Amino acid sequence: MNQAPNDTRPTARLQSLGQSLWLDNITRDMLADGTLAEMISSLSVTGLTSNPSIYHNALKASSSYDAAIAEKVGRSLTSEAIFFELASEDLRQAASLFRPVYEASGGLDGWVSLEVSPLLAYDTATTIESAKTLHARAGCDNLFMKIPGTPEGLPAIEEAIVAGVPVNVTLLFTVEQYLAAAEAYLRGLERRIDAGLSPRVCSVASLFISRWDTPTAEHLPSHLQNKLGIAIGQKAYAAYRSLLASDRFARLANFGCLPQRLLFASTGTKDPAASDVLYVEQLAAPHTINTLPDKTLRAFGDHGTVTAGLSAAGGNAERTLYEITEAGIDIPALGERLQREGADAFVNSWHALLAVIASKS
């Protein structure tokens, strides 16, 4: 899509394998100075994601938003309203850069993402209304609304799909959480079909990878360190491919539905002793997306390698997960904890983000 035939660049080869590379970052500066456009042309980037942490860092580190904040303060907007206007402005501009990919892929690729307020992670009804309002206000076809895959978020995901709002399901850690998100998406599509509505409402399911390995590092023998996140990704990929091959999805595909693509998130390496492209190389897989922070994206573009890709059956994931369990790690309990901690971390970033806006106001 972005590369010439026989392009040997690592990022182009990964794209040829069938995996999309999305940037896990956005700033007004990278839009203005051409950095994002350069990543699209030279590093095969076909989408991007944002979250409160990304925007907290962007606003704190740059004066590029100051004039816009001052203008919005003049209209007596709250800090939250100011943020959503700023983010929507950035994301509309980014979405226009990805529009050719979006159209060429029939809506499967070329997306940007905006997260609903993290304060709503456990509030189903308000999450639904917020997602619908923010998406309509943005007026951008290739914009996902990010909704957490918490138990309270799952009904909101289904209702958003029924309402025609594209959803990036975030904060998924376990395979069970992924399957619950997939079920919410499928139910939403089936309800649209039953209602005589177009079922062509897109979604991705974001599975967090590297966060598994930091809290388990000191509890595992060396040969199992930095293996848990990859094994979770492998097992989820097997579940995803099984779903794509199911009779249920075949029926939906006959109505024109697109798959809810599995997205590998949090794939920057946190262990300084490990390869800086560990998770990208190990999770190369057709029909998926990998979102990378700038540093990891450029590292992979420089010295990454691409192999045959993940096995649709999950490879040796079950054996690895068994060994990690035998080593004393309660994987289901850790997955639930990571989801709660992830939601709490986004709340903290949200408060910090609003505080930065208030200070600039």
Rounded CA gap, 349 and 112, in Å? 20
CB count within 10 Å of CB 174 equals 22
The residues carrying an active-site annotation are 146
**3-state SS, residue 194:** helix
| Residues 198/158, Cβ–Cβ less than 8 Å | no
CA distances from 348 to 110, 113, 130, 342 (A): 29, 20, 19, 10
Q: Could you give the CA distance from residue 20 to residue 16 in angstroms, rounded to a whole number?
A: 9
Among 224, 232, 238, residue whose Cα is nearest residue 323: 224
Cα(214)–Cα(191) distance, integer angstroms: 40
Classify the phi-psi angles of 196: left when phi > 0, otherwise alpha if psi is within -120 to 50, otherwise beta.
left
Q: Are 333 and 75 in contact (CB under 8 A)?
A: no
H or E element in which residue 22 lies: strand 19-23
Q: 322 Cβ partners below 8 Å, 6+ apart?
A: none
Count other Cβ atoms within 10 Å, centred on residue 298. 17
Classify residue 228 as exposed, middle or buried by CB count within 10 Å of its CB (0-12, 13-18, 19+): buried
